[in-house]
Structure 1
């Protein structure tokens, strides 16, 4: 997932109200607003939660696309009811340190997620197997001195900046989106060109191409993590049934990644419909039935 998936580079400067809208969550409101970012794992999990909530409880779920930093701010300030993509303990550590006392975690949605720098398997391991190998002049030349990143507010990008510093690398970390990152990977793979991208599991790209993580001997990109549902203060009192559902919601990593792969071949909506149909017992467990 998991997403895709750094510590502060910079926060979006737009006023929060312009991004999220003016209103704050009200206890009597029948609309629950979740923030999300277009990472493949976050998109699947958030839209899956939306479908199950709307089909089983008397609420509408609104999804607000925004950056990670804005989501943490929004949940802390009550402009968002929650976010289902908090990478803890390391990836979003700086965000959590700023707002952790103003929000509440409902526990992990999935576990065993991993961040790192990813390369295609056709790049020989004896030439590039570790982040340390990026210091080799011949390796830097083949990569044009670039690491392909994702959106600048992402925790993975913040960790990647720290990694460049920690390994004393003379590389440019290119900011983009998750989609731009996979597009760059696709272009490189088509002609078996060298490329390093910021990546994470679970992600559909591991089902499409043969990829591997570069070794990170200094551990600057962190260890395996859990992805939590985080809600505003008062959410559990305002929406107790939904809070209980989110507390019980938990996806095995292999199931999630398989569903994400399917979503890329069809659509997230179709993949979610199929997941719900194929995992009735699991969904009922989440619902406490």
Structure 2
């Protein structure tokens, strides 16, 4: 009987020791390189990237380095192993050109969120009988109200590549329109100015984005389907990532998934406070989801 109890006690000690050795913090102490995550200053990318950074650093004990650059550079950096991850691959349509070029050089860890959408957006006060579709933009009176401009974002974005094709296929370039390159922040600033003055404006837009919660906006129809349909946003890793990092890090990103409504709420909160505060609030208010991402266990 004593011998059996002794064996049980030893077994429990081994289990406890293994639990300590394989805990996220213990693994982090044995890994002394920063995890490099690429991102672009799009509101959804910033939100989910900074949530991941917060958890990896404060809950799991890893160092994280965020590397910001144009989306095309992110794909190149993954191929060159200059970054470990990017959390903003729009598939299957928006980034299809990048995917065709780099698919064999990266590892797809799965979707981070789904039901995303791209398109051209107008304030809801723009009459639907005047602007309901991209086809309507060629009307001379409509073009004059819009100053022959479509306000875009950074030129390397898949949305801008699709928008350039839409400009040609819908005859907007021939009608004198110009697609203005800007940035995510520049686009929302232009939208805010137009709404303040009740001016007409068309911007390149996507969901999730906090602007839909802040203002009354709508997508206009894209009869030719050039701008794509529903999209999934994937996490991509460099080749060899899963072999080089502790398995908890790799598995964290394979499990990380957010409902679109939750991500959009973080983005809206960040627009009113900061991404640091909004991400911290999300992590605090969703302990069970965060625990699952970290461990694979449901509380």
Q: Deviations over 1:131-179 (max 9, x none)?
A: 0101111111111110000001111100100111121213100001111
Q: Deviations over 1:177-216 (max 9, x none)?
A: 1111001000000011000000100001111100000101
* Contact in 2 for aligned 1:38/1:65 (Cα 8 Å): yes
Q: Distance in 2 between matches of 1:192 and 1:251?
A: 35
Q: Distance in 2 between matches of 1:73 and 1:210?
A: 37
Which has the larger helix fraction? 2
Larger Rg: 2
Partner of 2:265: 258
Partner of 1:182: 188
- In the alignment, structure 1 residue 201 sits paired with structure 2 residue 207: yes
Partner of 2:159: 156
Q: TM-score scaled to structure 2, two decimals?
A: 0.86
* Contact in 2 for aligned 1:31/1:62 (Cα 8 Å): yes
Unaligned runs of 5+ in 2: 1-29
How many residues align? The count is 263
- In the alignment, structure 1 residue 117 sits paired with structure 2 residue 120: yes
* Contact in 2 for aligned 1:162/1:220 (Cα 8 Å): yes
Change (3 A) 1:277 1:28: closer
Q: Distance in 2 between matches of 1:263 and 1:173?
A: 28
- In the alignment, structure 1 residue 97 sits paired with structure 2 residue 100: yes
Unaligned runs of 5+ in 1: 1-26
SS at match of 2:229: coil
Q: TM-score scaled to structure 1, two decimals?
A: 0.89
Partner of 2:285: 278
* Contact in 2 for aligned 1:28/1:238 (Cα 8 Å): no
Q: Which has the higher contact order (CA 8 A, sep 6+)?
A: 1
